[in-house]
Structure 1
C-alpha cells in the first residue's frame, strides 16, 4: 500500500513538473525566447489572433510556470535531504556542491537563452542550508515574509511619502535585440552571458523574483515535510484551490484597479507589480491544486501521462529548449523572430513538445534518468566515500 502511495505521489509530481516545462516551452516560443517581435507583414486577422494567443498564454503561464518549477525544486530538496538523513548522512555539503554544478549548467544554458533561471535557482538555493532544520512554523513565517516582498513595500512607502519622486522607465533588455538579431553565434553566446545576464538579474530583482523564489523553495520543502502530495491529503488541495482562486480573483481586480485609480505612475507601477507577484503565486497554487485533485480520475491520469516523461527529464528538456529555441529564432540561426507571430510560434512550440515527449519516452526505456540528470547525479556523488 505504501509503495503504491509513493508511486502515485511521484507520478503526480512528475506530471506537475512536466506541466511547468510544457508551459515554459510554449510561452518562450511565443516570446521568441526573450526576443519579442511582431511581424508587420502578416495579415490583419493573423495579427489579431497573435495578440489573443499572446495575451492568453501570458495570462495562463507567465509567472506561474516558473513558480511551479521553484515549488517543486524545494520539494526535491526535501526528498534528497530526507533520504540521506535516513541513511545517517549529512547532505549539506553534497547539496552545496550540487548547486555549484547547477550553476555551471546555468552558465551554459544562459549562453543560449538569456532568460535562464538555473543560475538564479542555484544561487538562492544556498540560503536553504542555514534554515533547513528550523521548525515548520518558523519556515512558514520566513516564506510569508518573503512573499510579502518587504523591500518592495518599503520602497512604495518611501515613494508615497516623497511626492518629488517621479516614475522613470528602465529598459533592461534594450541592448539585447541588436545582438540577438544580427550577432554571430559566438557573439550571441558571449553577449547573453554579459549584457543579457545583467539584464535578467536586474529585472528579476525589480520584479521581486529573488524573494518569491526563496519563499517557493521553502514552501516546497514544507510540502515535502507535510507529505501533501500523498493521496490522503487530497482534501488539503481542495481547500488550497478554493482559497487560492478567491485570492487570485481579488488580486487580479486589485491590480486592474491600481492602474486605473492611482494616478501617480511612480506609485501605481510598483504597486501593480507587487500585486502581480501575489496574483501569480495564487494562480500557481490553483494549477498545482487542480492537477492534484484531478489526478484521482483515471481518464485525467491517462491524458496527462505524457507530461510525466517531460517532468522526469525536466533539466534536460529545459536546456534542450534553450538550444533549439535560440537556433530557431535568433539571427545566427533561422531568424524566425522576423517571420513568426504568436500563432506560428505556438505551433512550433507544440512540435518541439511532441519531439521532447517522444525523445523522453525513447530515452527512459533504457535509462533511469535523462542525459543532463545523469551527468548532474554522477557529478554530485563523485568521489563518494
Structure 2
C-alpha cells in the first residue's frame, strides 16, 4: 500500500468511526427529542442513566470534533492536488460549500441538529489560511480554541459577577421544538426545524463555543494532513503515542476542574464562561485521545483489519449522515413511529447499534458496485460542473 493510500484508508476508517458514534448518540437522545419514558422499572431507569452518561462521556462533543478535524484533512487533500496542477482550488471550494449547505438544509428538514450547514459556512475560514505557513495557521487555530467570546463574557461579568443570568437563549427554542417533534405532522416538523430549530442550534453553538472550535479543528486537520500524520509509518506511530500521552495529561486535570467548577465559582456570571472554556478544552483533549488510540490501532496489522471495517461508512459519510437522519427521525418522532414514547437509552443504544451495523453493511455492499455513495457522487459531479474532463478525473484524489 502506498503512503497516500494508507493515509486515505485511516482517514476513511476514522471518519466512519465518527459517523457510527454519532449514530449512537443521536439514537440515545431520540434525535433531539427529549423524553424519558414513564413507568420503567428502577433497574432499567438506572441502566438508562448509566448508558446515557457513558455514551456522552465517550462521544459527546468528540465525534463531531473528529468529523471537523477530518474535514480539514479532506480540504488539504483537494487543495494540494489542485495546487500540484497549478490551479487554485479555493473558488471551486466556495461552490462546493454552497452545495454542502443545500445538502445540510435538506437534512435540517428532518433533524434540526444538522451539522452540515454549520460546516458549509464555517469552512470558509479555511480560505484565508490555506496558503499560510504552518506556524501562522497553528496560531490562528489556537486563538480560536481559546474561546475569545467566553473570555469577553468573563471580562464583562467582572464588575458584577454575582448577577443572576437568564437561561441560555437556546433553551426556549429547544423547548418549543419538543412540542412539534413529538406531536407535529411532517410539514410542521419541516417548518419548525428550518425556523425555530435552526436558530436554536445556532444559538446553542454560539453559547457552547462551537462556532470557534469547529474552524479551529478544520485548520488543525489541514495541518495534520500537510505533515502526513495519517500515513502509516514508524514516525507517525511515535507521534500518536506522544499525542495520546499529552492528551491524557491534559484531559485528567481539565475533567477534575470541570467537575468542581460549581463549587469553586459561585458567581454565575463568572462560572458560565469559564465552563464553556474548560468543557471545550476537555472535550478537545479527549477527542485527541480517541483519534490517537484509533491511529495506533490502525498501525497494528490486526487492528488495521478490524478498524478498516469502518471505512465504507467513512467513504460514504455524507450519504450515511443524511440517511441516519431520515431513518432515525421517522423511528422516533411523532409523524413516524413515535418510539420516543417507549424507548429509554438502553433500547435506543440497541437500536443505534443495529442501525450502525446495517448501515455499514449497506455501504460496503454499495461500494463493491460503485465508486462513490449516491450523495457523494452527486456532490462530486455538481462540484465540478463546467470543468474540463481531466480536471474532474484529477479531483478524485479528494473526497
TM over 0.5: yes
Aligned partners of 1:268 and 1:40: how far apart in 2? Answer: 34
Report the Cα distance in structure 1 between the residues aligned to 2:163 and 2:157, rounded to whole angstroms: 6
Q: Which residue of 2 aligns with 1:222?
A: 223
What are the superposed Cα offsets for residues 196-224 of structure 1, whole Å, 9 maximum, x if unpaired? Answer: 00000000011010110010000001111
Which SS does the other structure have where 1:174 is aligned? Answer: helix
Instruction: Tell me the residue number matched to 2:24.
Output: 26
CA contact (8 A) 1:12 1:292 kept: yes
- Counterpart position of 1:93: 91
Q: 1:242 aligns with which of 230, 242, 245?
A: 245
Q: 1:337 aligns with which of 329, 337, 340?
A: 340
Deviations 1:312-334 (A, max 9, x none): 11111000000001100100000
Counterpart-to-counterpart distance in 2, 1:267 and 1:337: 37
CA distance in 2, matches of 1:361, 1:16: 15
| Alpha-carbon distance between aligned partners in 1 of 2:308 and 2:87, rounded to the nearest angstrom | 34
TM score, norm. by length of structure 1 = 0.97
Q: Determine whether 1:367 maps to 2:370.
A: yes
* Residue of structure 1 aligned with 2:36, choices 38, 43, 63: 38
Counterpart of 1:180 in structure 2 is 181
Q: Give the total of aligned pairs.
A: 383
Taking the aligned partners of 1:330 and 1:179, their CA distance within structure 2 comes to 9
Task: State which drifts further: 146-155 or 70-79.
Answer: 146-155
Unmatched segments (≥5 aa) in structure 2: 389-399
How many angstroms does 1:270 deviate by?
2.4
Aligned residues of 1:179 and 1:188 also touching (Cα < 8 A): yes
CA distance in 2, matches of 1:45, 1:151: 42
Note the residue ranges of structure 1 that are not aligned, 5 or more in a row.
none
Give the Cα–Cα distance (whole angstroms) in 2 for the partners of residues 8 and 127 of structure 1: 28
Take 1:27 and 1:273, find their aligned partners in 2: how far apart are those partners? Answer: 21
Residues of 2 paired with 1:181 and 1:308: CA distance?
34
CA contact (8 A) 2:17 2:314 kept: yes
Counterpart among 300, 304, 328 of residue 301 in structure 1: 304
SS in 1 for 2:319: helix
Report if aligned partners of 1:262, 1:268 keep a CA contact under 8 Å in 2. yes
> CA separation in 2, counterparts of 1:136 and 1:291?
25
Query: d(CA) in 2 for partners of 1:362 and 1:175?
Result: 40
Runs of 4+ that moved beyond 6 A: none
User: Corresponding residue for 2:113?
Assistant: 115
- Report the secondary structure of 2:223's partner residue: helix
Offset, 1:163: 3.4
Query: 1:36 aligns to what SS in structure 2?
Result: coil
State the Cα distance separating 1:167 from its structure 2 match: 2.1
Question: What pairs up with 1:120-199 in 2 under 5 angstroms?
Answer: 120-163=118-161, 165-170=163-168, 171=171, 172-199=173-200
Query: How far apart in 2 are the matches of 1:203 and 1:239?
Result: 34
Residues 259, 272 of structure 1: 8 Å contact kept: no
Q: Are the counterparts in 2 of residues 139 and 218 from structure 1 also a CA contact under 8 Å?
A: yes
Per-residue deviation, 1:162? 2.1
- Report the Cα distance in structure 2 between the residues aligned to 1:274 and 1:199, rounded to whole angstroms: 21
For 1:237 and 1:298, locate their aligned partners in 2 and report how far apart those are by CA, in whole Å: 16
Measured in 2, the distance between the counterparts of 1:125 and 1:334 equals 36
C-alpha contact 1:228 1:234 (8 A) present in aligned 2: no
Counterpart of 1:206 in structure 2 is 207
Contact 2:71 2:218 in 1 (8 A): yes
Q: Post-superposition shift, 1:164?
A: 5.6
For residues 201 and 297 of structure 1, the distance between their equivalents in structure 2, rounded to whole angstroms, comes to 41
Q: Which residue in 2 is equivalent to 1:106?
A: 104
Partner of 1:251: 254
